[in-house]
Structure 1
Amino acid sequence: MELIWNVFSNGFSSLRQVNLSHIDVSLCRSWPTSPSLQFVSILSCKPMDIPVILASCPCLQHLQVHISLNDNDDIIISSLLLNHPLRRLTLWSDYTELTSDVIDSILTYTPNIECFYLQTIYSMSLIDLAHGLANRLNYLSQFDCYITEMLTRNCRINNLTDLHQIHPCFYRIQFIEENDDFRILATK
């Protein structure tokens, strides 16, 4: 915990990028700022920890987070953080679904995202997510994904034309696997 405190409290003032295996900010809801950090990668993090990371890294350009557990804690929206300059965001989870509410709450803080990679299990239509991204992220120019859409064949769109028409950054999304219970959509 002391190392993480030093990283996010400017204890290493010349540190520009950091890769961490696990953080849990539940013991400390805020850190002093670390203005030198520009890239942070975390291999195990809860969605509710992301606003704390953003608040402590005002110059962060790229955040890469593996969501290990979605404990359904609400992400607390702070009006002080609603326009973080973050340009690149990578969110991925292996077995944890990132719901549209969780994704939207994270994006509330980061309206300046230009490049977004999302890998998750998703139990709603990707069309709805794409509309939300296009409306929330005005600067989005690149979207990459690997999404397992957990909808039965009768509940999902049949082709990708509607998705591709929402925004040019969705043109590269393709089906890579499909059966009666789910399908995987990914960018090529």
Structure 2
Amino acid sequence: MKTRKVATTALRRTAALGAAAALALTLAACGDDDDTTTETTGTSAVSDISAEGLTFTDSYVGAKTADTAMTAVFGVLTNTTDKDIHLTEVTGDLAGEYQYHEVVDGVMRETADGITVPAGDSFTLEPGGHHIMIMDSSEEIAAGDELNLTLTDDRGTTYELDGIPVRVQQSSHEDYGTDGDADMHDMQ
């Protein structure tokens, strides 16, 4: 009887650890995270990428499992031109729906009209603020992987941002409510 109790306890602990890990990944998509220098498999987990007229520094994608429907992309977009860049569309090589999002009063929602990176200035995509959301994705994206994005502005100019690193993100809770107009998906 004692052997069975030890085995049952070990199984419960393993299940609890697995559930905790899944919960942490689920909450990570838009959670606050101040540590953008985390190392993953010996290489930097953030990257500096540039396209003609636009750079993306300290960039990364939050890792997710196949059973987690959402993740997000963060970093600093810098406009190196003398004209505003109004980004209205985003696509990528991970299956799913891509949207520009913001968090207002703790509630995540799609932006009304993309984002604008001012001429000669920067625009920060960060947990708890503006970010690129990847939703309805059933593909796993693991730490150490890379993601390629194509951002399109209102003039039809495209900006290829290749090799954005994927990393595990520390999480904290945010309210993933709706703004009344959007049908937000569960993080599960």
TM-score (norm 2): 0.31
Higher RCO, Cα 8 Å, sep 6+: 2
Hey, which of these two has a bigger chunk of helix by percent? 1
Structure (1 or 2) with the greater strand fraction = 2
The structure with the larger Rg is: 2
User: Normalising by structure 1, what TM-score?
Assistant: 0.31
